[in-house]
Structures are given as C-alpha cells and as structure tokens.
Structure 1
Amino acid sequence: MKWTGRFEGYHAGNFRRDLVSGLIVGIIAIPLGMAFAIASGVSPQYGIYTTVIAGFLISLLGGSKFQIGGPTGAFIPVLLAITLQHGYENLLVAGLMAGVLLVLMGGFKLGALIQFIPRPVTVGFTAGIAVIIFTGQIASFLGLSNIQKHEYFIPNMQEIVIHLSSANPYSITAAVISLTVMLLTPRFFPKIPGSLVGLVCSSIIAAWWMDGQTATIGSAYGAIPSTLPAFHWPAITLERMSQLIGPAFVIAMLGGIESLLSAVVADGMSGTRHHSNRELIGQGIANIVTPLFGGIPATGAIARTATNIRSGAASPISGMIHSLTVLLVLLAFAPWASRIPLASMAPILMVVAWNMSERKEFVHILRTRSGDSLVMLITFLLTVLTDLTIAVEVGLLAAAVWFMKRMSESLTVAKVLPDPQTRNEKVAEYIVKEEHDCPQISIFTVEGALFFGTSAKFEQSVRHAVRNRPNIVLFRLGRVPMLDTSGESSLSKVVKEIEGAGGAVMISGIRPQPRALLQRTGLESRIGSERYFERTGEAITDALSRIDPRKCAGCRHFAFRECALLSASPETDRKADGS
C-alpha cells in the first residue's frame, strides 16, 4: 500500500467526516494525555505535548489508516520506573532511543514477528499493567498526603496503608463526582466523552465549594504553559545510552506490540489492512521527534483508534485533526487546567485500567487450567511484583518451554500395516498385532514436527519397535511438517543402526523442508535417492522385491496381500533351497 493510497479518492465529504471524528477524539485525548503523564511521574503538559506531536506524526507517517497515537496506559509502569530511577531527562533519551529501535525494526521488516508473542503473555502483562495503573491512583482518589512513589508494587501499597489516616474527604468527593458523571454520561449522551464531562463537572464543583481543600495540577506541578516548548536536544552520551538501552528496548517492544495490536483492531472494525513495517517506522519517527519537544513515549491507542473509526473517520487526516484540536485547547485553556483536582483525574485512569485489563480473556485462559494458564499467571505476577522487562522475558521463556512440551507430546511414531478391508489398503496402526506383523518389513508413520524437543522420543520409539532387526524399515514422513538438525541427527543415528544390522531404510511422502535438509546434510544420498517414494504403496512394492524369500516360506503372518502367495509358492521354496 503506497503512502498516497490512503488518500485515494479523497473529497470534501471525507474531510467533513475526518473533521468531526478528529474533534471528538481530540477532546477525549486531552484528559487522558494529562492523566497518563501524571501517572508516569512527569508534569501533565508533557502528555499534552506528546498527544500533539506524536499523534500528528503517527497519523501522517504510520501504516494504519485510522491509527490514533499518543501516550497510553500500557507505558505507565515502564515510564514511571525510568523516571524514578533515571530522571525525566533520561526518560527523554530512552524514548528517543526507543524511536530509533522502532525505525530499525520496521526497516528490517520485523513487524510480522510481533504476532509470535503468545496470547497468554500479552494478556498477562496487560492485566498486570492494569493492576498497577488502578492501584497507582488510589492515593490520588483518597487525597492521601505525603505519599512517596516507589518503583515496585508492594512498597507503593505499603505507602497507601501507612497514610490511610490522611484521607481527604474533599478529594474523595471530587473523585466520586468525576467517576459517577463519567459512568453515567455514556448512558444518556453516548456521543459525548464521559471522561471530559466528569473532569469538567468535578473541577467546577471543586473550584466553587472546595477551593484550596484538594490538591490540584497547579499545586502539585505548577501552571501548565499555554505554548509548546522550544526545541531541546537532550544530552546523549555513551554512558547514558549504555544505562538506558534496556529501558529503551522495553519501550520499543511494548510500543511496537501495542501499536500493531491497535492497527489489527482498526483493520477488523474498518475492513482495511495496515502495513506493519511502515507502522513501526512511523511510530519510531514520532518517538524520535517527540522527546526533542519534551514529550514522553507514544504508541497507538486502541480505545481512541476505535472511537476514531466509530466517529466516521475517512482517512489519517482525522488523526492529524485530533492533534491540532489538542494544540488549540492547550493554547486557549491551559491556565484553566491548572485548577483541575488530582482526585478528579484518578477515576479516569481507573476506568482506563478496568477497560484494558482484558478480564474476560484472563478468566477464559485461567479456566483452561493448562500450561497457558500458568504462563499467563507467571507473566501477570511478575509484571505486578517486579517489572515488565523481567515479566516478558520470563513469560516468553515459560511459553517456549510449554510449547516445546506440547510439541514433544504431539509427535507420534506408530508401526502400521495395510488394512485389506479398506479401499486402496490404507495402512493403519490397529492392524499390527503380535501374530500379524511382518518379520522383514517394518513400516512407521511419523506424525508431528521432528525437532530437538521430539528427537529423543523418535529414537526411543523406533529402536523399541525394530528390535527384531527387519530387513527393510519404511518411514512415512508425509505428516512431518518440519525437521531441524536435532531431528536429522536422530534420524541419521537410526539409519546407521539399521544399516549396521544389515537392514535398509526407505522413506515415503517426505515434505520439501525435511527433504531439503536431508539433502544438505548428505543423509539423502546415504540412504539412496532410489529409496525415496512419493506414495507408500510404491515403497511397499519395492520393499517386497528386496526381502529374503527364505524367510517367507511357511510364514503365517500374512501382513501383505502378497504374503499368502510368497508363503506357499514353490518358487519361494526353490529360492529358499538355492535352486
């Protein structure tokens, strides 16, 4: 999809739709931008700057037609930890570095790799982030004083418990008003953003009847400037970069995951198709430029993107209008924002946390009581109790271990023989019995990936079944979709042992990838290309021509339809006598 393809056939009617949706989403983004910034440990205006600059660039340069970019709740625990540990200036450097990483990820076409992150891991860390966001607003909701923010969950909970006695009834009242109005507004006025109405109503009531009784944005962070900050290049040194490469990588990965998830949601709602690598590049450029004006890291916002589509957006211009709307509001009403109570903003983030928690999906996976449940719980608990980096790393490792366990269990190696009662005498496992099993030909159906997690099982199964040393061993590999070098090594060992005992190996139905690997390793030439067959029937016919006729004389297994003739044939007896 070319960049200009997103505007193909654009007309005045499309602009009207973009104007309406852009205004609506812009109004919604204002309180969210400030709230996300405060929760991340920085002044609220930096959230506004991020919405204006990053939001515009993501819509202009990204790969999704309807994506709305800006600060999001998923970043809060990561950004707060960086701010507490390294400071605001280093947060800007980490965001810029993350932008470079995103551009590189898009440039090297790694966008498709994001889809390989297991669902239990994403649900686990998303639910964990939601818990951190929700609990992080309890202090502001209750108006607790002298609260110190910590990097980890348990110390923050201890702070709340210690300072519960300092709860402010005025702050609680403002918070309850904001929450109530925010929840009721969609029921009566579904097209009006409830978060903004709740914030405005509670702020007006607080200004009239609780003036000076609650902490406000102005008292906590100072007045919000009514202009964008000047360009500022942060001090970037090798020492800083080495300290921040870890946090920058987490920001890039989380931003990439959330932006592409948001783009997928947008595709499902609009019937369009996003360009994942260009989306990463657009996100990267936005995160490189935004810190130069004081903004924090940004990504695609699922809820705002969905609102953009539902509001009738026709093109990326709606996202640009949303950013310009926020800029105009900043220029016109910034001094008023300083009087917003922090308690009025707390319910906004609590509702965001509730909506992003994926509670239904969490419970659904939990009810499976499987390895996926364990992976999700591990990721969730580590996200809450440690940090997102450790949680994702351990979660991915646990998911990989669980995947390998399932794959190893899925491999089956079954000894089979033709079923004379079926059409074309298809081979089946149930036909093989102690009294009905050819002493000279063993046929195995191998089903499942043959890789390092299943190679030992393959060796053990075959060795146990060929202990009677048959003349011919036929492996049916049509149901082996993938073979790695460990699987090839196991197959090579089995071939060597069979040939060492005087037998021969045949292979039928092998797929392109496994055969290509056998060709590269030389195992195909060792077995002999003449012993590879497309169909099992052809392989059996060839195998019967290679058996020792002396062992067929008097045999009563009758494993194949030719056995009755071979067992009783005078020709067989003469061959057995050497005449």
Structure 2
Amino acid sequence: MSADAAPADEISWWTLARRRARALAPHRLDYAGLSRSWRRDLLAGLTVAVVALPLALGFGVSSGLGAAAGLVTAVVAGAVAAVLGGSHLQVSGPTGAMTVVLLPVIARHGTEAVPVVAIMAGGLVVLAGVLGLGRLVAYIPWPVVEGFTFGIGIVIALQQVPLALDTPKAEGENAALVALRTIGDVDWHAALAPLGLVALVVVVCVVLPRLYRGVPASIVAVVLATLVAQVLHLDVDRIGALPDGLPAPHLPVVDLETTSALFSSALAVAALAALESLLSAHVADGMGDHLPRTRPNRELWGQGAANVASGLFGGLPATGAIARTAVNVRAGARTRVAALSHAAILALVVYLAAPWVARIPLSALAGVLLVTAAHMVDLRTAGAICRSGRSGAFVFVATLVVTVVFDLVLAVEVGVAVAAVLALRSMARASGLHREDPPDETVPDDEEQALLHEHIAVYRLDGALFFADVRRFLDELAQVTDVRVVVLRLSSVSVLDTSGAHALAQIVTDLQHRGIVVLLKGLRPAHRKVVEEVGVLDALQHENHLFEDLDLALEHARSHVRRQVREAHGTARMG
C-alpha cells in the first residue's frame, strides 16, 4: 500500500461519518411548508394534547411512579423526539406497552431505578440509530406485530383492575395473577363508587364519538367523572397533588453494580422503545399523504435522546405512541410543530392546571385506559390472521400468549423465531429433487437412446438448498445406484447457503466414490463463490465437469458412458 493510501482511507471514513451525522441531525427541511400549515399544526397539537393528557396521567399511575411522572415524560420526551426524530408526524410519550415492561423492573429494583433504566435504554437506542439498525423492523412479520399489540391490550386491561376497584395492588409481576389476587381481596361495597365512575367513562368514550366525531371523548369523560365525584362527594382515590412545574434535570447517582443489575431491563426497554416507535412511525407514513417518509435511523436517534432526557427529568421511558400519532395525522398535522405544540400545551397544564388535575379520580383514568386497551384488541384482524393459514395463526397466538404470560420483548423474539422456522419449513417443502428424462432430440439413434436412458440420470434441483433441507437431498441421491453418470441441473436453485453447498460437495464426493461421474449444469453466478469456497468444484473429478448448456453436458455424459462400455467389453474379451 502506498503512503498516500492511508490519508485517502481516513478521508473516506471521515466523509462517511459526516454523512451519517448529517443524516441524523435536524434540518431546516423538517419544517418545509410551515408558513402554510402552522395553523393546522397548532390545532392538531391542541387536539393531541387533549387526548394525551388522560393517557399520560393514566400510564404514569399504572407504572407506579405517579401521574406527575407521566406528564413529565409526555412533555420532555415528546418535545425532544419531535425535534430530533425521523418522523414528521410521530407523537411520543408514555405508552401502555412501556408500563407493562416497567412493572417487573419496579417490583425488583424500586421506582428509583426507572429514570436510570430510561437513560441507559436511551443510550442503547441512540447507538442503534448510529449503527443503522433502523431498517431491521421491516423483518418483523405482521402476525407478530398484531399478536404483540393484541397481547398488550389484554395486559393493559388487566393492569387497570386495582385502579378500577380502588383496591391496593396485590404482590407480583404478572398482570393476570396480580389482577386475580386483587379481585380476591376487594371490598365490593367500597368498590361500587369507583366501578360506577369506570362505567361512566367507558360509556362516554364509546357513545360520544358516534354522536359527535370531533369531540375529544376521553377528556370529556374524565371531566364528567370528576364532576360527579365532586358533586356526590364520592370516597374514591384521586391523583393527588402535582408539582406546579417541571422538575430540574439531574443525573441519577449510579454505580457499576447498579448498572450491571439494570442492564437486562434497559436492554428490554430499549428494544421495546425502538420497536414500538418504528412501528408507530410506519403507521403514520401510511396515513400521511404526500409527506416525507420516516427516516428510521434518525427516528431511533431521536427516541434514544428523548429517553435520556426523560430519565434526566425523572420521567418514564417513552416511545412513539400509535394512538396519539394517529390522532395527530387525522387532525391535519403537516410538520413536527404539531407534536411540539402538544408537548408545550401539556407543559402549560403542569404550570396552570395542576390543582384541577389533582382532583381526577384514578378510576376515571382506569376507564380511559380500558377503552384504549379495547381498541388494541382487534378481533377482526385476529380472525383474518387465523383464517389465513395455520402458520400465521400459530405465530399470532404464540406471540399473544408469551406477551400476556411473560413479557413483551420475549414475545417479539419468540414470534420472530417461530415465524422464521415456519418460513424455512415452507421454503423447504417448496424445494424438490426431480429425476428427468433426457431430451430425445439430443440422441441420434435408438441404440444411443437406450444407452442414455440406462446409464445417465438427470436430476433437477428446485427452490432452496440450505441448512433446513440438506438431509433430504442427501438421502434421495444416496439411493442412486443404477447409473454411470449423474447430471445435476442447478439453474432452478434460488437459494444456496454454506450448508447447502457443503451438502452438494458431499453428494458429489459420495457418488464419485461409488464410481458415478457427476456433471453440474447451470450453476448461478451468485452461487459461484460459496460453491468454490466450500469445495464443491474441487470435489468434481475434472474441472470440465461444470456446464452452462444441458446439451453439452449430455454429450459429455454419453462420451463417458461409451468409454466405460468399451472398457467393460474389452475387459470381458480379455477374460
């Protein structure tokens, strides 16, 4: 290498790093068209804030950190993700899926661990964005996504049981077990009032949108439930006092032992934050017409920074919120100013309306979250997946069950693994080994025809030759005993991995060890490298045993047969 080569390499790496930094950084084009759309953006932000307020309060309470933590998360994470994220329409904040992941963390390590987990997880998501891992979400199958969402809806509903009954939550990490234990300990006479408020909220949230589509049903339901509780002097649990401003940012004191204990939790939170945010942004892309599509790596960068910021302010881990993002798009948002204004309006609530928010009954928030959970349990989609075929149904059910019984990240891992195994099984079934009759037009006379059919076999490999299916091909070709030459047609092989190439080398070696000449026809250029590296070509008796044309391969096969027949006749005469 010349002396000038090193600086050239350094420049290329530096240029690559600068391009990656520019791709992740905010740009003035993020606000293109703002002069025309700012009114719609502000109105959309107000609409989303009205919807997000009860959800932020509810998810904060459900997580165990309290309503104030939910509001802080919606404000801080929502603003940071809006500025730095890769989507123009995404709205971020606390979500039900994240509270599901956080409950075991709080049970094991206490509420003080949550900001630390948020900061650690945010750093991991930022790293994923820098490394360009944003496009991996495209490899998650649809049944996994739907099973994941369906399961989250069930878990969120189960989490609301203690709040809906105004009963202390039972010990445990699994939402179903906690709900059952809580129901066993409830004072049903005292629970009548909160259950009545839950029913009121649910009815308003279900009926009001059908009568007046533009009215924010959740905020109306919460206000109405609060008024009923005040007027009737109901003895129900309330949100309680909120801070009259955002807390100052501070770095939690942690040590190596704490970070080691929390790393697995942070990894799970980071995986969920990345997954849910990218899925939500994907949904927004499908709803927003003629708008720039999400840049997934920048979206990870922005969501990671939002989680770090939320943790510094004592908030929860945050993700892109599908429901709030959908409201933002439907309200006419065109730029990220809508998500920014949503965060600003929620900040005003913290500063100006904290005394009124403190009076909201917790059971009213439980009602809002029960309706949210019901929207996530999409029976029509579940039925369509289950009717589409056994593979899709199995993946959907497996993901759903693991989500409810264990945890969300494990559910995605299991779902993707099951889907991959079933896809490989389907691919293997579509592959095949077929014996063909050689084309008659290549044979000059009847004697030659008989010789060809008797001593030459042509096999066509179809589909994929890979690790999941190599044993079947080996077993089938191991039974070939009645011929002198085998022509393997490879032009229909669409996938050939290292295991498949190794099996092909074994096939060649085994047949030739039994005195059968092997000719390969139609090896694709894309498979040439793996075949050469694994040693398939070395296993052939001669380098000329590789052909592009079937007629030439058959002519070569006939010459082998003629020579072997002549040698056999000569040996017989000498005997």
Q: TM-score range by the shorter chain?
A: 0.7 to 0.9
Residue identity matched to 1:534: E
Q: Which moved more, 1:74-83 or 1:388-397?
A: 388-397
- The Cα RMSD (Å) is 2.7
Deviation at 1:285, TM superposition (A): 0.9
Deviation at 1:523, TM superposition (A): 2.2
Residue of structure 2 in register with 1:470 after alignment: 484
Deviation at 1:304, TM superposition (A): 1.2
Task: Give a deviation string over 1:500-554, Cα, whole Å, max 9, x none.
Answer: 23333222232333221012223224435533333434433443444326759xx
Instruction: Provide the rounded CA distance (Å) in 1 between the counterparts of 2:52 and 2:434.
Output: 60
Instruction: Provide the rounded CA distance (Å) in 1 between the counterparts of 2:362 and 2:73.
Output: 20
Deviation at 1:368, TM superposition (A): 4.5
Residue of structure 2 in register with 1:154 after alignment: 177
Residue of structure 2 in register with 1:507 after alignment: 520
Contact 1:125 1:380 in 2 (8 A): yes
- With over 3 angstroms needed to count, the CA separation of the structure-2 counterparts of 1:518 and 1:182, relative to structure 1, is same
Residue of structure 2 in register with 1:233 after alignment: 251
Residue identity matched to 2:286: G
Contact 1:149 1:156 in 2 (8 A): no
Matched, 1:53 2:72: no
Q: Which of residues 437, 450, 458 is equivalent to 1:443? A: 458
Q: Which moved more, 1:435-444 or 1:256-265?
A: 435-444
Residue of structure 2 in register with 1:562 after alignment: none
Unaligned runs of 5+ in 2: 1-22, 443-449
Matched, 1:74 2:89: no
Q: Which moved more, 1:45-54 or 1:374-383?
A: 374-383
Deviation at 1:487, TM superposition (A): 1.4
Q: Which of residues 19, 29, 33 is equivalent to 2:56? A: 33
Residue of structure 2 in register with 1:568 after alignment: none
Contact 2:272 2:408 in 1 (8 A): no
Q: Percent identity?
A: 35
Residue of structure 2 in register with 1:243 after alignment: 261
- With over 3 angstroms needed to count, the CA separation of the structure-2 counterparts of 1:76 and 1:121, relative to structure 1, is same
Unaligned runs of 5+ in 1: 426-434, 553-572
Residue identity matched to 2:243: P
SS at match of 1:505: strand
Matched, 1:460 2:475: yes
Residue identity matched to 1:444: Y
What is the aligned length? 538
Residue of structure 2 in register with 1:398 after alignment: 418
Instruction: Provide the rounded CA distance (Å) in 2 between the counterparts of 1:546 and 1:458.
Output: 25
Over 6 Å off, 4+ runs? none
Instruction: Provide the rounded CA distance (Å) in 2 between the counterparts of 1:195 and 1:30.
Output: 9
Instruction: Provide the rounded CA distance (Å) in 2 between the counterparts of 1:60 and 1:490.
Output: 53
Instruction: Provide the rounded CA distance (Å) in 2 between the counterparts of 1:84 and 1:156.
Output: 15
Instruction: Provide the rounded CA distance (Å) in 2 between the counterparts of 1:332 and 1:310.
Output: 28
1:354-393 matched pairs, under 5 angstroms: 354-368=374-388, 370-393=390-413
Q: Which moved more, 1:157-166 or 1:287-296?
A: 157-166
Contact 2:505 2:539 in 1 (8 A): no
SS at match of 1:448: strand
- With over 3 angstroms needed to count, the CA separation of the structure-2 counterparts of 1:536 and 1:226, relative to structure 1, is farther
Q: Which moved more, 1:117-126 or 1:305-314?
A: 117-126
Instruction: Provide the rounded CA distance (Å) in 2 between the counterparts of 1:138 and 1:251.
Output: 24
Q: Which of residues 489, 496, 502 is equivalent to 2:509? A: 496
SS at match of 2:47: helix
Task: State the TM-score, normalizing by the size of structure 1.
Answer: 0.87
Contact 2:457 2:483 in 1 (8 A): no
Deviation at 1:419, TM superposition (A): 5.8
Instruction: Provide the rounded CA distance (Å) in 2 between the counterparts of 1:162 and 1:368.
Output: 43
Contact 1:147 1:163 in 2 (8 A): no
- With over 3 angstroms needed to count, the CA separation of the structure-2 counterparts of 1:453 and 1:241, relative to structure 1, is same
1:427-442 matched pairs, under 5 angstroms: 438-442=453-457
Instruction: Provide the rounded CA distance (Å) in 1 between the counterparts of 2:137 and 2:378.
Output: 19
Matched, 1:543 2:563: no
Deviation at 1:480, TM superposition (A): 2.1
Residue identity matched to 2:167: S
Instruction: Provide the rounded CA distance (Å) in 1 between the counterparts of 2:372 and 2:525.
Output: 49
Q: Which of residues 339, 351, 363 is equivalent to 1:331? A: 351
1:266-281 matched pairs, under 5 angstroms: 266-271=284-289, 272-281=292-301
Task: State the TM-score, normalizing by the size of structure 2.
Answer: 0.87
Contact 1:217 1:338 in 2 (8 A): yes
Q: Which of residues 114, 129, 147 is equivalent to 1:91? A: 114
